[in-house]
Amino acid sequence: MEVIRNIAELRAWRRQAGKVAFVPTMGNLHEGHLALVKEARQRADKVVVSIFVNRLQFGQGEDFDAYPRTFDADSAKLRDAGVDVLFFPIEQELYPRIRQDFNVEPPHIQNELCGAFRPGHFRGVATVVTKLFNIVQPDLACFGKKDYQQLHVIKAMVDDLNQPVEVVPVDTGRAEDGLALSSRNGYLSAEERAEAPRLYRHLAAIRDRLLAGEQDYASLEAAARQDLEAHGWRVDYVEVRQADTLEIAHAGEKRLVVLAAARLGKTRLIDNVEVLR
């Protein structure tokens, strides 16, 4: 595996690389990331993974400096997974003027769901992903469905801006007890880790009720929120939305997604399940 730290060198490599698949990450890698790499390897001649902790997507109260930097462990995992290039730029390489005067501004959905609790987050995601697409020039890029709103924003951005990249969604990786794999799981205490699968159980239960014909979305959302809060969670949202647009869902729609975000102790967990009838 080649480690490249500057844009010019990566672009020179890209010109000789054939079909390229790309997996952008912020590091602190787990099996969910490696599942993205596996999917990428099946679809292209070469695989590029980036590790870049993007300051723009950290909001007020979110500690950019405290985000785990685990380069040695990450690079070993990527080497074992057969990655061809690890793009690992310093911050000044992507943001040479420090500030970013031009940004990619997503539509109103950036201020809903997770965006309502993380102002500016999806602007930061859309901007850095656009920059990375411009640098790597991949034929396709793999993103996990766990970050469902992020996936929606990126897919819509690629379509609207005519970016020549195929966005490949990859199913959420889960532990045996259903907990979605996430870098944030490492922040959970042993007691919190035992409690954490409750979030997925509620989403799965709502999915089953919807598939059985239940159409009172508000009651399903409220019941899940009430039980989570009774067990010590601080719930940001539990919502049923349209799967393709993330707009408010209405009774009788066939393609839905149930999304949730909640804090357990100091750790904010997100998850979702699709309901495709």
Domain definitions of the chain by residue range: 2-170, 183-276
Asked if pLDDT for residue 61 goes beyond 80, the answer is no
Locate 60 and state its tokens: 């007020």
Task: State yes or no: is 33 an active-site residue.
Answer: yes
**pLDDT tens per residue across span 104-156:** 999 999 999 999 999 999 999 999 999 999 999 999 999 999 999 999 999 99
Class of domain 183-276: alpha beta
User: Considering the domain 2-170, what is its CATH architecture?
Assistant: 3-Layer(aba) Sandwich (3.40)
Query: What is the per-residue pLDDT for 198?
Result: 98
Determine the residue type at 48: V
Rg (CA), the chain: 19
Q: Annotated binding site, which residues?
A: 26-33, 57, 144-147, 150, 173, 181-184
Q: 202: buried, middle or exposed (CB in 10 Å: 19+, 13-18, 0-12)?
A: buried
pLDDT per residue as tens digits for the range 221-235 = 999 999 999 999 999
Which residues are paired to 48 by β-bridges? Answer: 22, 85
Q: How far apart are CA 211 and CA 174, in angstroms?
A: 22
pTM reported for the whole predicted model: 0.95
**For residue 256, what are the contacts with CB-CB under 8 A and spacing of at least 6?**
210, 240, 241, 242, 243, 249, 274, 275, 276, 277
> Is residue 25 within 8 Å of residue 132, measured between CB atoms?
no
Which residue's structure tokens are 């005519």? Answer: 162
Judge whether 200 and 263 are in contact, CB under 8 Å: no
**Active-site residue among 33, 121, 152, 202?**
33
Residue list for the binding site for ATP: 26-33, 144-147, 173, 181-184
> How far is it, in rounded angstroms, from Cα 34 to Cα 242?
29
H or E segment at 35?
A: helix 31-43
What whole-number percentage of the chain has pLDDT above 90?
93
